[in-house]
């Protein structure tokens, strides 16, 4: 269990994070979502005891990181943003060193290390010098390092950075598997990653938590009004007229000429109205076929703008989490 | 602490650094021994110990320049500081790794004593006293080097700054003979690592001076621990 209350960290005059509070329960996988510089790494560094907060406290399994550092750190496996590797060691030597460093006891060294490298898929690279490994493999060694000693809390700072798409899926599955009996915080700036792995998302921006929710609730919130791009084969002006005439369409205009004789249109529907069917029928009647139809992906920035708007004006009320709500959590 | 010490020791000998250090040390010492003892057919080791002392200033930076600098650069300090080891454990582990490499080089010089003993009589008490004192001075130097390396992530700056500090100590030592004011002399004596060594050279084992070496070492190791802790607040 991770309890964080009122963490504030300033870098000179700049505010790194501002009164961050949350609780992560045992066996929960929580995603930290935020743009670069939002304070994700700072928060993680404070939880793991690498940095100290100006105020507030972080507790791991009830142990304060500042007051009881050695004991608290025993419970943590940490993969920092840049994997902390000794390049002059082989994977085997390095993990064996970590085993000693973390004072692992009760598990046999060779068995435990075998298990860890199997888990992250490093078996073939076990005897290689870390210096010679590719970025993806280095990231895996970093991951393996965090797993040594079977810590009950895992803090992973952008664990899938630098991996190729196949490896990303593999590592996500590994994390999911680990999450069954561990508490995990992972940070990312990729929206899909959160919905793929996490049960809960903390959205952090400018050093503050702007949302704390389940990923599906969050995506419902942020797709409250739908934006679509439609590619239609037909003359620009008449297609636009037809689109604007469709029931529920708030705005429609051509953006670019996509293929010969067809245009991409940006269509914005009124909140909670699905315009796809009436749009199709209207265009079909007029004899202009739809070549492509997709909903626009919101960028992370758009999400923040929306969440911040929601927080301020309550225009789109935040869906409440049906799951356990902890005390000490930020309320909006 | 032992895990870090073992890793650093290994690190010295998986990179050229440990070999360069031991080789440089042994080349200088062998040359000295050959010129002063063998060519002169002399049984005295005083010059050898003197050179041993002064060469420390030049070779210790090789040993300590990357102690913390390399960790800062590779971000492995993040690993050490988030592992269940106290900052003092980290510092001591790194200090003893460097110190053991030095001891390894020093042990190789025992050959001179054996050679001299084979062809004549060596004052064993004086030799042992000298070795203990050399270890004391080396501990001081290594702790200074370790401290300086904890200030920067650049190995080169670390090495040059350490050399500069040692040069300053040497200059202070030279100044001792040039001034006559009693209190300045007292201050200089207090600061001079070398001057305290003279008693050992003369074959007197001075416990007070040995304690002085240990205390200075402890001070610099303590400062290094504070540096590591301070990093957290930056």
Q: What is the mean pLDDT of residues A302-319?
A: 60
* Residue of A74, A82, A89 lying closest to B75 (CB–CB): A82
Q: What is the pLDDT of residue A312?
A: 64
Q: What percent of chain A is modeled with pLDDT above 90?
A: 31
Residue B40 forms contact with A (CB below 8 Å) = no
Residue A101 forms contact with B (CB below 8 Å) = yes
**Strand arrangement of the beta sheet that strand A63-64 belongs to:** A14-24, A2-11, A55-60, A63-64
Q: How confident is the model at residue A276 (pLDDT cuts 50, 70, 90)?
A: confident
Is the CB of A97 less than 8 angstroms away from the CB of B6? Answer: yes
Residues of B with Cβ-Cβ distance to A88 under 8 angstroms: 11, 14-15
Q: What CA–CA distance (Å, rounded) separates A78 from A185?
A: 10
Q: Which fold has domain A227-295?
A: Alpha-Beta Plaits (3.30.70)
Give the residue extent of every domain in chain B.
2-231
**Structure confidence by residue, pLDDT tens digits, A136-167:** 889 999 999 999 999 999 999 998 887 888 88
Q: Which residue has the higher pLDDT, A295 or B172?
A: B172
Q: What CA–CA distance (Å, rounded) separates B84 from A153?
A: 14
Tell me the residues of chain B between 135 and 154 that have a Cβ less than 8 Å away from chain A.
Answer: none
Unique residue bearing structure tokens 């504030």? A8
What is the β-pairing status of strands A153-157 and A183-188?
parallel
Q: What's the angle, vertex CA B200, arms to CA B198 and CA B203, rounded to 5?
A: 115
Q: How confident is the model at residue A320 (pLDDT cuts 50, 70, 90)?
A: very low
Is the CB of B76 less than 8 angstroms away from the CB of A80? Answer: no
Is the CB of B75 less than 8 angstroms away from the CB of A50? Answer: no
Residue B70 distance to chain A (closest CA, Å): 9
What is the β-pairing status of strands A55-60 and A63-64?
antiparallel
Q: What percent of chain B is modeled with pLDDT above 70?
A: 100
Cβ atoms A130, A89 nearer than 8 A: yes
Residue A263 distance to chain B (closest CA, Å): 51
**Structure confidence by residue, pLDDT tens digits, A17-64:** 889 999 999 889 999 888 778 888 999 999 999 998 889 999 998 899
Residue B22 distance to chain A (closest CA, Å): 20
Give the residue extent of every domain in chain A.
2-75+152-221, 227-295
Is the CB of B4 less than 8 angstroms away from the CB of A101? Answer: yes
Quick one: closest CA in B to A11, which residue? B234
Identify the residue among B79, B93, B225 best suited for mutation to test binding to A, counting A beta carbons within 10 A and taking the highest: B79
Mean pLDDT of chain A: 84
Quick one: closest CA in B to A48, which residue? B82
Q: What CA–CA distance (Å, rounded) separates A23 from B206?
A: 60
Three-class DSSP category at A285: helix
Q: What percent of chain A is modeled with pLDDT above 70?
A: 87
Is the CB of A50 less than 8 angstroms away from the CB of B82? Answer: yes
Residues of A with Cβ-Cβ distance to B88 under 8 angstroms: none
φ and ψ of B112, to 5 deg: -60, -40
Which segments of chain A are extended strands (E)?
Answer: 2-11, 14-24, 29-33, 55-60, 63-64, 76-79, 153-157, 183-188, 200-205, 208-213, 227-233, 249-257, 262-269, 290-295
Taking 50 as the threshold, does the pLDDT of residue A238 lie above it?
Answer: yes
Residues of A with Cβ-Cβ distance to B77 under 8 angstroms: 84
Unique residue bearing structure tokens 């030592």? B173
Q: What is the pLDDT of residue A330?
A: 38
* Residue of A49, A97, A103 lying closest to B82 (CB–CB): A49
Nearest to A198 by CA among A308, A33, A46: A33
Is the CB of A70 less than 8 angstroms away from the CB of B232? Answer: no
Q: What CA–CA distance (Å, rounded) separates B158 from A102?
A: 29
Identify the residue among A46, A101, A105 best suited for mutation to test binding to B, counting B beta carbons within 10 A and taking the highest: A101
Residue A145 forms contact with B (CB below 8 Å) = yes
Q: Which residue has the higher pLDDT, B176 or A222?
A: B176
Q: Which residue has the higher pLDDT, A193 or B4?
A: B4
CATH 3.40.50.300 fits A2-75+152-221, yes or no: yes
* Residue of B4, B7, B82 lying closest to A78 (CB–CB): B82
Residues of A with Cβ-Cβ distance to B233 under 8 angstroms: 51-52
φ and ψ of A173, to 5 deg: -65, -40
Cross-strand pairs, A76: A153
Q: Which residue has the higher pLDDT, B189 or A316?
A: B189
Q: What is the pLDDT of residue A319?
A: 42
Residue A44 forms contact with B (CB below 8 Å) = no
Taking 80 as the threshold, does the pLDDT of residue A304 lie above it?
Answer: no
* Residue of A84, A102, A103 lying closest to B78 (CB–CB): A84
- B222 CB-contact burial (10 Å; exposed 0-12 / middle 13-18 / buried 19+): middle
Residues of A with Cβ-Cβ distance to B84 under 8 angstroms: 70-71, 73-74, 102-103
How many Cα atoms are found within 13 Å in the side-chain-facing hemisphere of B226? Answer: 8
Torsion sign over Cα A185, A191, A195, A200: positive
Q: What is the pLDDT of residue A223?
A: 58
Is the CB of B75 less than 8 angstroms away from the CB of A84? Answer: yes
What is the β-pairing status of strands A249-257 and A262-269?
antiparallel
Taking 90 as the threshold, does the pLDDT of residue A318 lie above it?
Answer: no
**Structure confidence by residue, pLDDT tens digits, B115-173:** 888 888 888 888 888 898 899 999 999 999 999 999 999 999 999 999 999 999 888 88
Q: What CA–CA distance (Å, rounded) separates A175 from A184?
A: 8
Taking 50 as the threshold, does the pLDDT of residue A103 lie above it?
Answer: yes
Mean pLDDT of chain B: 90
**Structure confidence by residue, pLDDT tens digits, A61-90:** 889 988 899 999 999 999 998 999 999 999
Taking 60 as the threshold, does the pLDDT of residue B174 lie above it?
Answer: yes
Q: How confident is the model at residue B176 (pLDDT cuts 50, 70, 90)?
A: confident
Residue B44 forms contact with A (CB below 8 Å) = no
Taking 70 as the threshold, does the pLDDT of residue A200 lie above it?
Answer: yes
* Residue of A84, A86, A101 lying closest to B85 (CB–CB): A101
Is the CB of B15 less than 8 angstroms away from the CB of A88? Answer: yes
Q: How confident is the model at residue A257 (pLDDT cuts 50, 70, 90)?
A: confident
Residue A126 distance to chain B (closest CA, Å): 18
Q: What is the pLDDT of residue A311?
A: 65
Q: What is the pLDDT of residue B184?
A: 87
Span of A88-97, A263-272, B139-148 with lowest mean pLDDT: A263-272
Is the CB of A86 less than 8 angstroms away from the CB of B74? Answer: yes
């Amino acid at each position: 269990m991770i309890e964080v209350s009122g963490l504030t960290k300033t870098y000179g005059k700049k505010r790194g994070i501002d009164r961050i509070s949350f609780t992560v329960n045992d066996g929960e996988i929580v995603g930290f979502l935020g743009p670069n510089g939002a304070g994700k790494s700072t928060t993680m560094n404070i939880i793991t005891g690498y940095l100290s907060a100006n105020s507030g406290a972080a507790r791991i399994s009830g142990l304060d990181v500042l007051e009881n550092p050695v004991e608290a750190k025993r419970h943590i496996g940490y993969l920092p943003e840049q994997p902390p590797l000794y390049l002059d060691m082989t994977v085997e030597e390095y993990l064996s060193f970590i085993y000693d460093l973390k004072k692992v006891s009760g598990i046999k060294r060779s068995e435990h290390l075998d298990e860890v490298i199997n888990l992250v898929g490093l078996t073939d690279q076990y005897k290689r010098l870390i210096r010679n490994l590719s970025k993806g493999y280095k990231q895996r060694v970093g991951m393996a390092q965090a797993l040594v000693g079977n810590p009950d809390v895992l803090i992973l700072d952008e664990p899938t950075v630098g991996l190729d798409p196949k490896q990303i899926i593999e590592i996500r599955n590994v994390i999911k598997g680990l999450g069954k009996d561990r508490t995990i915080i992972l940070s990312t700036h990729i929206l899909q990653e959160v919905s793929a792995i996490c049960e809960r998302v903390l959205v952090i921006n400018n050093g503050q938590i702007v949302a704390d929710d389940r990923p599906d609730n969050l995506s419902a919130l942020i797709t409250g009004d739908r934006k679509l791009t439609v590619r239609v084969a037909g003359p620009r002006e008449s297609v636009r007229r037809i689109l604007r005439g469709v029931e529920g369409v708030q705005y429609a205009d051509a953006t670019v000429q996509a293929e010969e004789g067809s245009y991409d249109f940006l269509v914005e529907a009124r909140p909670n109205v699905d315009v796809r069917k009436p749009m199709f029928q209207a265009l079909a009647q007029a004899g202009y076929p739809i070549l492509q139809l997709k909903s626009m992906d919101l960028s992370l920035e758009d999400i923040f703008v929306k969440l911040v708007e929601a927080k301020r004006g309550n225009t789109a009320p935040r869906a409440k989490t049906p799951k356990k709500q902890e005390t000490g959590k930020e309320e909006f | 602490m032992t895990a870090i010490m073992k890793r650093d020791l290994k690190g010295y000998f998986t990179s050229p650094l440990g070999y360069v250090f031991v080789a440089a040390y042994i080349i200088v010492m062998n040359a000295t021994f050959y010129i002063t003892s063998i060519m002169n057919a002399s049984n005295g080791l005083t010059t050898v110990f003197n050179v041993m002392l002064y060469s420390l200033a030049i070779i210790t930076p090789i040993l300590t320049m990357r102690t913390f600098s390399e960790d800062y650069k590779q971000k492995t300090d993040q690993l050490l500081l988030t592992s269940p080891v106290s900052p003092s454990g980290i510092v001591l582990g790194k200090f003893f790794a460097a110190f053991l490499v030095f001891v390894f080089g020093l042990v190789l010089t025992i050959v001179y004593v054996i050679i001299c003993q084979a062809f004549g009589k060596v004052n064993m008490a004086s030799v042992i006293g000298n070795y203990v004192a050399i270890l004391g001075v080396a501990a001081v130097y290594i702790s200074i080097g370790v401290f300086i390396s904890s200030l920067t992530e650049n190995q080169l700056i670390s090495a040059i700054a350490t050399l500069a500090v040692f040069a300053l100590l040497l200059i202070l030592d030279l100044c001792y003979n040039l001034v006559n004011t009693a209190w300045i002399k007292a201050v200089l004596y207090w600061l001079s690592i070398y001057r305290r060594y003279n008693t050992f050279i003369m074959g007197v084992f001075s416990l007070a001076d040995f304690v002085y070496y240990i205390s200075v070492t402890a001070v610099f190791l303590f400062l290094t621990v504070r540096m590591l802790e301070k990093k957290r607040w930056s």
